Structure 1
Amino acid sequence: MEKMNILLCCGAGMSSGFLAQQTRIAAKKQGIMARVEAKSQNNIEDDLPNIDILLIGPHLAYAYDDLKKSCDRYNVPVTIIPKDMYAGLDGEGLLQLCIETLKEKETQNG
């Protein structure tokens, strides 16, 4: 995985902004070109055709099914960010989660 477009989604887009920043730093350290953005749940629809993965804050788990339906139209995987990773602003862990999720998607798609 050499290039990724990652979108983090939270209620207002602010708390995930810090996590996005840490994920960009982790990607740079690993030599991965990654565009990592954070937006509020209400502002993601236009980005779905252009992203590789959508990560949602643990507090938005209730919206998972609706977000998954939207993402399925574009074959974009959706993952809920683990609470400890979110709270700890674990950019390295989040990057690894993205890599694993996208590898799994490739395997499923052949």
Structure 2
Amino acid sequence: MKKILLLCNAGMSTSMVVKKMEESAQAKGIDVEIQAYGAETFQDHLNSYDIFLLGPQIRFKKAEFQAIANGVGKRVEVIDMMDYGMIKGDKILADTLKLMG
């Protein structure tokens, strides 16, 4: 099972993105776990998820988080601002799965 963690400031919008991603995964029969937490918990979850997606509002943390994630071979990406704003869970999930190989 692939495990995806979305990180944000605290936002309601991120939980809506997770819900849409989960609905898309379920409809396509994709076995994936998707959660959202505040960015301050990033290091607490470092070993529990395969990839970390940042909400566009915290994209400035990408370099800092990627430097930490490199130590355990994980990837940090920023969710496309338009996809995030329009809550395109299916597109965000598809893009993420491509990144994960």
**TM exceeds 0.5?**
yes
Q: Which whole-Å deviations, capped at 9, do the CAs of 1:73-94 have from their partners, x for residues lacking one?
A: 2211111000111001111001
Secondary structure at 1:50's aligned position in 2?
coil
Structure 2 length-normalised TM = 0.94
> What is the aligned residue count?
101
Aligned match of 2:29: 31
- Please list every run of 5 or more consecutive structure 2 residues that lacks an aligned counterpart in the other structure: none
Identical positions, percent? 24
Structure 1 equivalent of residue 79 of structure 2: 81
Unaligned runs of 5+ in 1: 104-110
| 1:5-43 Cα deviation digits (max 9, x unpaired) | 000011114321110111011111111111100011011
Q: Distance in 2 between matches of 1:24 and 1:70?
A: 27
Across the aligned residues of Structure 1 and Structure 2, the Cα RMSD in angstroms comes to 1.0
Hey, which bits of structure 1, 4+ residues long, moved more than 3 A? none
Q: Deviations over 1:56-99 (max 9, x none)?
A: 01111111111111211221111100011100111100111111
Q: TM-score, normalised by structure 1?
A: 0.86
